[in-house]
Structure 1
Amino acid sequence: MQTKVGLITIGQSPRVDMTPEMQAILGNDIQIVEAGALDDLTREEIAALAPQQEEATYVSRLTTGESVKLSKKLVTQRLQEKITEIEPQVTSIIIACTGNFPSFQHEKLILYPDRILRAVVNGLIDKQTLGIIVPLPEQKETLKQKWDGITVLVESASPYADDDFIAPAETLRKAGASMIVLDCMGYTEEHRKIVQEASNLPVILSRSIVARVAAELA
């Protein structure tokens, strides 16, 4: 029987920009079951989930290809509902966001990309400086805080817009980064290649690291 792994995005599913790359790593013996925190919501309902001033902001993708900014607090509530909804169908669940979430109520194994990334980086970084690329300029300070104990440099470039990835990659290299993390599940293999070529540094792609862990567990 085919193993099923849940993939819950904070945006809308299906994530046609993400799942093909992750499926290639998971292999044909594993089926991805998708759900989105914004599935079945109207434009007005999605707008009501926008962050207020000074609130932690996350960004994701709609099925139209548009990006949307979301309140961390409000989208967390929606994620719990989706976990409860798809849990009976799968053996494990991936939260398709590298944001720092609280532990959800669940029975099946949940993979938190944020925790996986930090564990990988902590195993690789000693006293070196870590470069991070995040989607939005307003996320720089918030996401910088999660890398507690590591010297970090942060630049921004959105995976959901026609942003320049070469300039932030070069900036991080010149500032002394020894490794770069693309800190969002929306970043693609193509983004990783651009950043690696521009910086000549090792680059960690969130979605591929998480998919490899999920494949190992499955």
Structure 2
Amino acid sequence: MNKGIVGIITIGQSPRTNVTPSIQSILGSEVVIKESGGLDGIAEENMHEISPSDSDTTYISRLRNGRAVKIGKSKLLPLLQNELSQLEEVVDVVIMLCTGDFPTLRTNKPILYPDRVLNHTIKAIMPSGSLGLIIPLEEQRHSLVQKWKDQDLEPLVEVASPYETSDVAGAARSLKERGADIVVLDCMGYNEMHKQNAVKGSGLPVILPRTLIARIAKEYVS
């Protein structure tokens, strides 16, 4: 029996075959997943149209062919809203497959933002202290540091992309040496292997957004 339909919207292209299986394994086989992507309607040869300007917030996501792409937030938002409006018509709840902040998106169905869930989870676990962040891009450092500072936490940042070969274990080890009390892999692209490497490198608790948000979605549809 179908226990519900969960929508997954990525800021890149769907299907996200590098993420959805992780979420499906937590939701269970009786929960149906429907996917959509902000860049689904953009041909690969036109990807330059969504490149970030110098003043724009930069995101990174994955295309259908596996290639990573940088995306300007201002160019993404109208594309994302269009896909979200269609997706919500056929699902019970939506998972945003990005840890960024999207306050202008409008939906009539519940939408789970990893950004908000992470903030409240970390605040509940650790009201104060040093938070270790592993992020995909150097150009995201300033905005993410500011976001977590607003939570009265002292963010320490290392860069290790989930979309190419990178030293996640080394990044986590560096965060531990700098005084981090916990590590957040601050991107939905990080997977269970990245988490294992971060735990091995640091010996600290490591929070993986994709599995955290999937467990909340399961609670909603169960």
TM-score (norm 1): 0.97
Indicate if the aligned counterparts of 1:100 and 1:146 stay in contact, CA closer than 8 A. no
Aligned length: 218
2:158 paired residue number: 155
Indicate if the aligned counterparts of 1:180 and 1:201 stay in contact, CA closer than 8 A. yes
Indicate if the aligned counterparts of 2:198 and 2:206 stay in contact, CA closer than 8 A. yes
For 1:167-192, what per-residue CA distance to the aligned partner results, in whole angstroms no more than 9, with x for missing partners? 21111000000000000000000000
Name the CA distance, whole Å, in 1 between partners of 2:104 and 2:117. Answer: 14
Name the CA distance, whole Å, in 2 between partners of 1:101 and 1:9. Answer: 12
For 1:118-158, what per-residue CA distance to the aligned partner results, in whole angstroms no more than 9, with x for missing partners? 01001011222110011001111111111112111011111
Indicate if the aligned counterparts of 1:134 and 1:140 stay in contact, CA closer than 8 A. yes
1:76 paired residue number: 77
2:35 paired residue number: 34
For 1:65-88, what per-residue CA distance to the aligned partner results, in whole angstroms no more than 9, with x for missing partners? 110000011112211111111111
2:47 paired residue number: 46
- Runs (4+) off by over 4 Å: none
Name the CA distance, whole Å, in 2 between partners of 1:153 and 1:67. Answer: 25
Letter in 2 for 1:135: P
- Are residue 172 (structure 1) and residue 145 (structure 2) matched? no
Name the CA distance, whole Å, in 2 between partners of 1:86 and 1:112. Answer: 15
Mean CA deviation greater in 26-35 or 41-50 = 41-50
2:92 paired residue number: 91
How far apart are residue 44 of structure 1 and its match? 3.8
The DSSP-based 3-state class of the residue aligned with 1:99 is coil
| Structure 1 unmatched ranges of 5 or more | none
How far apart are residue 25 of structure 1 and its match? 0.6
Letter in 2 for 1:60: S
| Structure 2 unmatched ranges of 5 or more | none
202, 214, 217: which one pairs with 2:217?
A: 214
Letter in 2 for 1:7: I
Letter in 2 for 1:161: E
Indicate if the aligned counterparts of 2:60 and 2:68 stay in contact, CA closer than 8 A. yes
Name the CA distance, whole Å, in 2 between partners of 1:30 and 1:43. Answer: 31
Q: Percent identity?
A: 44
1:134 paired residue number: 135
Name the CA distance, whole Å, in 2 between partners of 1:4 and 1:171. Answer: 40
Name the CA distance, whole Å, in 1 between partners of 2:35 and 2:98. Answer: 13
Letter in 1 for 2:99: T
Name the CA distance, whole Å, in 2 between partners of 1:202 and 1:96. Answer: 22
